[in-house]
């Protein structure tokens, strides 16, 4: 992880849902297992296509935090008539002391309660696609429409 890139062979979502005692009916689909810094427009088009063509109206996408803003914006520009929440972790789940459980739990609640649209769920908050950025100095996501003093 010295260069900031991460590689995993399989998704940890089923384990996280089991350990979190999730009682919702969840269908987990793995589209790709790549570092978000390596995502291409073709990868994002695959995500968009899967979101458009799946039967579900409430979708959570786990995504690397470095480029989730880009994916969220492209999903928003695709005008998909569903509630889509993108989440991730600054500290990966398998590294221990991860924020992944907290962010996934927040995403699970937000996807059930927010209106149709595309959102990012991080740090206990949700942000609309197109109005959020990751502050790489603090490690927190911020609403670009808020003013800070």
Q: What does pTM read for this prediction? A: 0.83
Q: Residue 47: CA atoms inside 13 Å, Cβ hemisphere, count?
A: 29
Write out pLDDT tens, residues 44-58. 999 999 999 999 999
Ordered DSSP codes for 81-122: SSEEEEE--SS-GGGSS-SHHHHHHHHHHHHHHSPSEEEEEE
Architecture per CATH, 13-143 = 3-Layer(aba) Sandwich (3.40)
Residue pair 79/60 in contact (Cβ under 8 Å)? The answer is no
Comparing 11-15, 34-38, 113-117, 118-122, the range with the smallest average pLDDT is: 11-15
Q: How far apart are CA 114 and CA 3, in angstroms?
A: 36
Residue 2 has pLDDT above 70, yes or no: no
What are the boundaries of each domain within the chain? 13-143
């Amino acid at each position: 992880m010295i260069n900031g890139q991460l590689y995993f062979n399989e998704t940890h979502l089923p384990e996280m849902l089991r350990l979190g005692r999730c009682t919702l009916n969840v269908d987990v689909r793995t589209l790709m297992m790549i570092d978000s810094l390596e995502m291409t427009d073709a990868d994002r088009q695959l995500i968009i296509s899967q979101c458009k063509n799946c039967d579900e109206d409430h979708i959570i996408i786990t995504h690397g935090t470095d480029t989730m803003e880009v994916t969220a914006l492209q999903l928003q520009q695709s005008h998909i008539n569903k509630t889509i929440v993108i989440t991730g972790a600054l500290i990966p789940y398998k590294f221990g002391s991860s924020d992944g459980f907290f962010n996934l739990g927040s995403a699970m609640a937000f996807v059930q309660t927010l209106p149709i649209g595309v959102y990012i769920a991080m740090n206990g908050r949700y942000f609309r696609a197109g109005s959020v950025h990751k502050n790489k100095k603090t490690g927190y996501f911020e609403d670009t429409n808020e003013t800070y003093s």
